[in-house]
Amino acid sequence: MTEVLLIVGLLVAVFVGYNIGGATTGPAFGPAVGANVITKLMAAVLMSVFFFLGAITIGPQVVDTLGRELVHDTGIFTLRSNVAVLFFIGGALFVGNYAGVPASTSMTAVGAIAALGLATGELAWGVLGEIVVWWIVAPIIGFWVAGVVGRYYYPRINEWIAIEGSRGDKQMVTVDRSGIVPRLQFGENADRREITGAFVVIGIGCLMGFSSGTSNIANAIAPIYGTGDIDMIPLILIGSAAVAVGCFTIARRTMETLGNDITNLPLTAAIVVAVISSTIVIGLSWIGIPASFVVIATMSIVGLGWGRATRTTTLSDAARGEEETHVSVGALTAEEEGERSPEIGEEEPEDIPKASDLFDPSTTARVILMQNVVPIISTVGAFLTFRFVPIFGF
């Protein structure tokens, strides 16, 4: 019976890893894909490689500590309960991935483990409270920082970087496999600045993939490792392979959602989003908080799209509350030009984007809804199971 449960546990862990790949690839490389910098295939390759690097280097520390601080007694992590925890994590993530919305693996996993602790009376409320507070604050910070950048500073940043996403269906960075050794190939119209910007956004995506590996590998294998039946390294290899499968398959839906459906992301915007979200994630990881970079990156994209979409009014209009007043650049007199904020309205009238082009409220609402529903499914389902199903013996 023990061997059967162990095999089932491994299969469920693989299922969790598969869905982690689908949920985390979109936030990391969705901006690069949406800006037409790289293909979805290249994004999957990079995500798989850097996730594994993060998992094999820093990941073991997270695996060792995940099940020790959130609950008082680690004895509740039996093989049977761990299978159930992984089942609810994987099942809830699959719901989000199937809907094309990347949910937070950290929130989903912590929710399932916290439900086990709550059902058994072993939950460390202080630790959970600190984590939840940062989960609320961090996305708000990402949204407003990105919104301020989009509304007031985006034209200056765009002028300084002077890059645009690759036009047409051809990506800016591709791999030429015609020779013996594959080599990078760049778009015909890409200049040095565009190529540099492309490498920046790809590099930040790789950094986010690495960060994901350091924390999210624990969500897939920590419960199985806690039983002591399998060593760490084999579990990391199994989990990383499962994540790679998710990167190449179901992640295509989440990359499409974050890269194209929510907001039209040119390359400059992709760099802004990646810098903001990755900085917040690294900061949270530094202080030991399991970072929900899926939510942070999504809210940064939403904030940037909202900020750019509201650039059609001036600061003086906003201060007076004249919601119906829309002042174009060409209509401003010299005196008015001197009074307005230089960061707003610097585009020509025909270049000012429409809100519908940069910010899709319906898609945004669907994303935010699902990102809250998925962890709730995991938490509530696990709690009801551990509290009322007799076979767990709690």
Chain segment 111-150, per-residue pLDDT in tens: 888 898 898 888 888 888 888 898 889 999 999 999 999 8
3-state secondary structure of 39: coil
Output the six-digit token pair for 125.
């409320």
Contact yes or no for 19/212 (Cβ under 8 A): no
Tell me the C-alpha distance between 359 and 381, whole Å.
34
pLDDT above 60 for 393: no
Model-level pTM?
0.70
pLDDT tier for residue 364 given thresholds of 50, 70 and 90 = low
In a domain, 12, yes or no: yes
In a domain, 32, yes or no: yes
In a domain, 286, yes or no: yes
State the total domains in the chain.
1
pLDDT above 70 for 209: yes
pLDDT tier for residue 322 given thresholds of 50, 70 and 90 = very low
Q: Which residue has the higher pLDDT, 92 or 366?
A: 92
- The least confident of 79-88, 113-122, 346-355, 378-387 is 346-355
In a domain, 334, yes or no: no
Q: How many CB atoms lie within 10 A of CB 386?
A: 23
What residues form DSSP beta bridges with 183? 176
In a domain, 214, yes or no: yes
Report pLDDT for 231.
Answer: 85
Report pLDDT for 317.
Answer: 46
- The least confident of 38-42, 67-71, 153-157 is 67-71
- The least confident of 22-31, 108-117, 271-280, 318-327 is 318-327
Which residue range is the domain that position 297 belongs to? 2-311+353-392
In a domain, 325, yes or no: no
Q: Is 162 left (phi over 0), alpha (psi -120 to 50) or beta?
A: left
Going by C-beta distance under 8 Å and a sequence separation of 6 or more, which residues neighbour residue 37?
Answer: 165, 166, 171, 172, 173, 198, 201, 202, 267, 270
pLDDT tier for residue 262 given thresholds of 50, 70 and 90 = very low
3-state secondary structure of 103: coil
Contact yes or no for 220/240 (Cβ under 8 A): no
Contact yes or no for 16/90 (Cβ under 8 A): yes
In a domain, 317, yes or no: no
In a domain, 345, yes or no: no
Output the six-digit token pair for 311.
């650039």
Q: First vs last Cα of the chain: how many Å apart? A: 20
